[in-house]
Amino acid sequence: MDMGNQHPSISRLQEIQKEVKSIEQQVIGFSGLSDDKNYKKLERFLTKQLFEIDSVDTEGKGDIQQARKRAAQETEHLLKELEQNANHPHRIEIQNIFKEAQSLVKEKIVPFYSGGNCVTDEFEEGIQDIILRLTHVKTGGKISLRKARYHTLTKICAVQEIIEDCMKKQPSLPLSEDVHPSVAKINSVMCEVNKARGTLIALLMGVNSNETCRHLSCVLSGLIADLDALDVCGRTEIRNYRREVVEDINKLLKYLDLEEEADTTYAFDLGQNHSILKIEKVLKRMREIKNELLQAQNPPELYLSSKTELQGLIGQLDEISLEKNPCIREARRRAVIEVQTLITYIDLKEALEKRKAFACEEHPSHKAVWNILGNLAEIQGEVLSFDGNRTDKNYIRLEELLTKQLLALDAVDPQGEEKCKAARKQAVKLAQNILSYLDLKSDEWEY
């Protein structure tokens, strides 16, 4: 249709659709909750556009009615997407875990910066558990959930870093005030910086409603200005002391930028992360080796070369930077398990081949353990090929097979034979490791 002759109602609907389209990415990437200011702002905007669409006069014309219907559907779809993002079960799970972290900080950290006792092991263990649980929250590749998990992890890891950095500092002030008058001012600033740490932690965790990031940033910048204005009279030790305090302040300022940084970068999209790409490269090669082994007509010929290359892959994983990111740490841990499981499989197959080649008389109980190990090798080969979830029939079948092998091992009587006891213990551990690996492969975890 010629734009110059287009009906005014169609033109108006197109204008509204363009406005709705302009906030589409904001809605898709919305990672907050339904009581957030930004949620209400987006909801109001979209609701207003629905009223605008409804007010367009169709004059009873079919093409305008269809255009209005399409515009309304697109807007309603975004409203629904916004609501689903804010109320997704995994988003609520992230928020509930964050609330636990808030309670922990209120109970253990806020009193510490108010003159209470030192940070306890209980806090450190609690925060580690929270980080691990957040890492395991499933996002299903959904941008809003990835962002929510990333934001929450970033805050909690920042708190952990601030506390660890503070605990590493010497409890006593490095210089006596008798050295030079400027030392007294630096010591005074250090006390303010320590208070600022507590304030920053409370801000990051949302447990302080009396302070804002902007005000704290101004306070910290003012402390740097005070230190810069000090005359240290060319004294190297005082200059170094001042520099250390300035570095501490700059570290705190860096944490204040976390919220803005998380919204303006794609750091939450670990699929493009350099370390993750390295892990994926290792896993790709590991899968190629696995397929070659499982499909080979004469697998023993590949055992030595495969194991050597797999051990090299473990070395590559050890060198990968974790970037202080729990999700990268978890991805590397899983990759190490994947590679190590394949090495264990090769070791078991090699041991079974050697046993066949050097058959000899042995204790019946020991022979029974070896027979079960042979069964475990076959099952492990299937587990290595498994690619499904815990609702799959094949998962249930493999789980039952492994449980049967564990029961069979439990029924083996070593009859006092130490060698048999050790063999049975190793076989039980192997069966349990295969079960754990099956569980790991099927838990649908992603970056």
Q: Is residue 67 part of a domain?
A: yes
Task: Tell whether 426 and 388 lie within a shared domain.
Answer: yes
Task: Tell whether 427 and 372 lie within a shared domain.
Answer: yes
Residue at a domain's end among 65, 87, 109: 87
Our count of domains for the chain comes to 3
In this model, does residue 138 exceed pLDDT 80? yes
Task: Tell whether 95 and 230 lie within a shared domain.
Answer: yes
Q: Is residue 340 part of a domain?
A: yes
Q: Is residue 265 part of a domain?
A: no
Residue 379, CA atoms < 13 Å, CB-side half-sphere: 27
Residue 348: domain span: 272-442
CB 220 within 8 A of CB 245: no
In this model, does residue 262 exceed pLDDT 60? no
Percent of the chain residues past pLDDT 70, beyond the cut: 90
Q: Which two tokens stand for residue 34?
A: 């339904």
Residue at a domain's end among 55, 87, 119: 87
Q: Which two tokens stand for residue 14?
A: 């197109």
Q: Which two tokens stand for residue 164?
A: 């660890």
Q: Is residue 432 part of a domain?
A: yes
Average pLDDT over residues 169-182: 59
pLDDT in tens, 288-323: 999 999 999 899 999 999 999 999 999 999 999 887
pLDDT in tens, 371-410: 999 999 999 999 999 988 888 999 999 999 999 999 999 9
Distance CA 273, CA 280 (A): 10
Task: Tell whether 16 and 72 lie within a shared domain.
Answer: yes
pLDDT given for residue 1 in this prediction? 43
Task: Tell whether 428 and 309 lie within a shared domain.
Answer: yes
Q: Is residue 263 part of a domain?
A: no
Distance CA 404, CA 431 (A): 10
Nearest to 101 by CA among 143, 37, 158, 36: 158
Distance CA 145, CA 85 (A): 8
In this model, does residue 284 exceed pLDDT 80? yes
Please state, in angstroms and as integers, the Cα–Cα distance from residue 272 to each residue in 265, 266, 286, 447, following that order: 12, 9, 20, 10
Average pLDDT over residues 126-149: 89
Distance CA 73, CA 60 (A): 19
**Residue partners of 41: CB distance under 8 A and separation at least 6:** none
Task: Tell whether 246 and 379 lie within a shared domain.
Answer: no
Say which range, 161-165, 191-195, 260-264, 398-402, has the weakest mean pLDDT: 260-264
Distance CA 273, CA 17 (A): 35
Helices of type H across 319-363: 326-357
Confidence of residue 172 (pLDDT cuts 50, 70, 90): very low
CB 177 within 8 A of CB 187: yes
**What CATH number did the domain enclosing 277 receive?**
1.20.58.120
Task: Tell whether 387 and 244 lie within a shared domain.
Answer: no
Q: What is the pTM of this model?
A: 0.74
pLDDT in tens, 188-239: 888 888 888 888 888 888 887 677 888 899 999 999 998 888 887 777 888 8
pLDDT given for residue 403 in this prediction? 96
pLDDT given for residue 337 in this prediction? 95
Residue at a domain's end among 87, 119, 136: 87
- What backbone torsions phi and psi does residue 413 show, to the nearest 5 degrees? -100, 110
Q: Which two tokens stand for residue 374?
A: 């042979």
Nearest to 136 by CA among 334, 275, 1: 334
Task: Tell whether 179 and 227 lie within a shared domain.
Answer: yes
Task: Tell whether 196 and 292 lie within a shared domain.
Answer: no
Confidence of residue 52 (pLDDT cuts 50, 70, 90): very high
pLDDT in tens, 71-120: 999 999 999 999 999 999 999 999 999 999 999 888 877 665 555 445 66
The answer to whether the Cα torsion of 290, 294, 300, 301 is positive or negative is negative
Task: Tell whether 243 and 104 lie within a shared domain.
Answer: yes
Q: Is residue 3 part of a domain?
A: no
Distance CA 413, CA 239 (A): 74
Task: Tell whether 149 and 78 lie within a shared domain.
Answer: no
Highest mean pLDDT among 34-38, 188-192, 413-417: 34-38
Task: Tell whether 307 and 328 lie within a shared domain.
Answer: yes
Nearest to 222 by CA among 177, 189, 182, 181: 189
Q: Is residue 184 part of a domain?
A: yes
